[in-house]
A and B are shown apart, each in its own frame.
Chain A
Amino acid sequence: MSTTTRPRTAWTPGQIVLTLLGTAVSVVFLAPLAWGLFTSLKSETEAVEVPPHWLPEHWTGQAWKALFDTGNITNWFVNSLVVSVCVTTVVLLVSALAGYGFARTEFRGKGVLMGLVMAGLMISPAVLGVPLFTTVQQMGMVDTYWGMILPQCAPAAMVYILYKFFQGIPRELEEAAFIDGAGRWRVFFTIVVPLARPSLAAVGIFTFIASWNNFLWPYMVTSNPDLMTMPNGIATVMNSYGIQWAQLMAGGLMAGLPLIVVFVFFQRQIVAGVAHTGLAGQ
């Protein structure tokens, strides 16, 4: 994955055309977000005025203020954070161990288990939501944090990606450590994990994004508004004064902005992560 570094060229006509085109497309892509932002800064009555207009005539933060005053939004934000952080932590730990186990160690039934994990790639809450719900119901975890978290913690895809990665590291490093008398776990944590940091970062970032944005499973397993995550709460609980678009947009932005900010800061890692995970699947 070496990027070709070319010297920065001058503004050729071709570049000017492409840049203009890129700008136009970007405007189209950002317009809905801007529309949401501007709507959130209007009063509720101005938001539903016909015909609509882009910029608020009277800028007001009332929707944002009302969001915090009346809504469950801070609750949901905390819940989203708790669930996403727990899921990411467990997934990183568990799938790093499993990926390494499958790539590097020998044990009975490995081939069969690997096949099973591959089959797991096809199973999602969308496909088997109803039986998954009854399973969680049997365990008494409906409407609990664990009921939301644990079923998100067995992603075959992440194991597969890390498996591919660990297969690619030369064995010699570990062998050298073994000779020096290091134990298996020490080798894993002091040699293998540091090597895998970029891959782990990619897996972690993606798990976090997926979990933060996950709607379907939390929607199925939580009914208690106190326990809902942001995407679920915004969609299924309305505040008691009916759909108020300015507030809805403000809430939506609050759910979406953290990840966009994260993206701005960790763009390099995320892009490398997508490239890495995507190209691993080729």
Chain B
Amino acid sequence: MTTAETVLAPATRARSAAAGAAVRRGQGFQHGGWFVAPFLVLFALFVIWPLLRGIYLSFTDANISGEGESFVGLDNYREALKDPLMWDALGHSAYFTLLVVPCITVLAFLLAMLAHHIERGKWLWRLCFFAPFLLPSTVAGNLWQWLFNPGTGMINHIFGGDTPWLTDTSYAMLAIVIETLWWTVGFSFLLYLAALQSIPGHLYEAAKLDGANAWHRMVHITLPMLRNITGLVVALQILASLQVFDQAVVMMDFGPGPENATRTFVQYTLEEGFTSYRVGYASAISVMFFVIIAAVALARTWLLRNREETAR
């Protein structure tokens, strides 16, 4: 926005203001279909069509060979509702989300506060906290699989003990959560940092003049000003965490973890589709998953709207 305004020379502004009304409905802004067409073609082919096809396949017994499916009605959905492995997998993804979202939000906020308030070397802190996010998921996963290794890894060596991080049901998911915090906190951290930097300085100056101490300034200015960004961070994290897959499979060597303890929902759909070749069934549970994701996303929109209305 600032760029646009500086570029807008006053002369241009005056001239266009005079002529603006004349062209507002003129040829320039008509028939924009061509602008959106390329995107819409790709969007239709690779988003809308798969969605429709997924819904169709969910009512069939399609297999991986891509031919010869027949209609089975609601069988797949009926089976899914009774499938304990499906519920387990959904539970694992939900559990992961429940652990990751609060931790990452708080951690990102604290790191942002830290980086914001240190006067020197801002770029260095930013780099350190953000760097892990730049690694591919599989590299980060391998790194931590190696760190958590019972005998040769650094974690047990530093903290003592011989915790079987990756082979025990009570630690396996925790190990994945720790890896995820390290790997992805940088993104939310940058969002918080940007939000902090966009809080107008005069608010603080005014509060200082009124005699508010640092704690009061944080509670009464910083936190309220960060409410929107927190909403965004939480929403993005929930959506991303529910879809967890990469780090879990990499750290468990593409298996479901000890006693299936880390098999996530996405992993289960892929196993059903590509390992058991049950594309119809996998489509059915994918569609159910899509409904869940959509519900979460819509809930956020609804909450936002409600809040705006109460604010008004």
Tell me if chains A and B make direct contact, with any CB pair below 8 A: yes
Q: Pick the contact of A252: B23, B135, B254, B273 (CB < 8 A).
A: B135
Nearest neighbor of B54 in chain A, beta-carbon distance: A131
Residue A32 interfacial (CB < 8 Å): yes
**Residue contact A131 to B243, C-beta cutoff 8 Å:** no
Within 8 A of A (CB), among B166-219: 182, 187, 190-191, 193-195, 197-198, 200-201
Contacts of B159 in A (CB 8 A): none
**Residue contact B286 to A278, C-beta cutoff 8 Å:** no
Within 8 A of A (CB), among B1-42: 1-5, 7-8, 12-13, 15-17, 19-20, 22-24, 26-36, 38-40, 42
Residue B250 interfacial (CB < 8 Å): yes
User: Residue-by-residue, is B248-285 near A (CB-CB < 8 Å gives 1, otherwise 0)?
Assistant: 00100010000000000010011011100001001100
**Residue contact B28 to A184, C-beta cutoff 8 Å:** yes
User: Residue-by-residue, is A98-135 near B (CB-CB < 8 Å gives 1, otherwise 0)?
Assistant: 10111011111010010011011111101111111111
Within 8 A of B (CB), among A1-27: 1-4, 6, 8-9, 15, 18-19, 21-22, 25-26
Interface magnitude class on chain B = 35 or more
Docked Cα-Cα span, A102 to B37, in Å, equals 11
Nearest neighbor of A176 in chain B, beta-carbon distance: B16
**Residue contact B152 to A107, C-beta cutoff 8 Å:** no
A29 with B29, Cβ < 8 A, contacts A175-B19, A255-B136, A279-B194 known: no
User: Residue-by-residue, is B52-82 near A (CB-CB < 8 Å gives 1, otherwise 0)?
Assistant: 0110010000100010000000000000000
Contacts of B290 in A (CB 8 A): 122-123, 127-128
Docked Cα-Cα span, A25 to B132, in Å, equals 13
A173 with B8, Cβ < 8 A, contacts A15-B119, A129-B269, A195-B3 known: yes
Q: Pick the contact of B51: A9, A25, A131 (CB < 8 A).
A: A131
Contacts of B143 in A (CB 8 A): 32-33, 35-36, 249, 252
Known: A33-B131, A97-B38, A279-B191; 13 extra A-B contacts, CB below 8 A, are A3-B197, A22-B115, A26-B128, A35-B146, A104-B29, A127-B293, A130-B57, A171-B20, A175-B20, A175-B28, A256-B136, A275-B191, A282-B231
Q: Pick the contact of B4: A134, A169, A245, A278 (CB < 8 A).
A: A169
Contacts of A184 in B (CB 8 A): 27-28
Contacts of B43 in A (CB 8 A): 116-117, 120, 154, 156
Within 8 A of A (CB), among B220-260: 228-229, 231-232, 236, 239, 243, 245-246, 250, 254
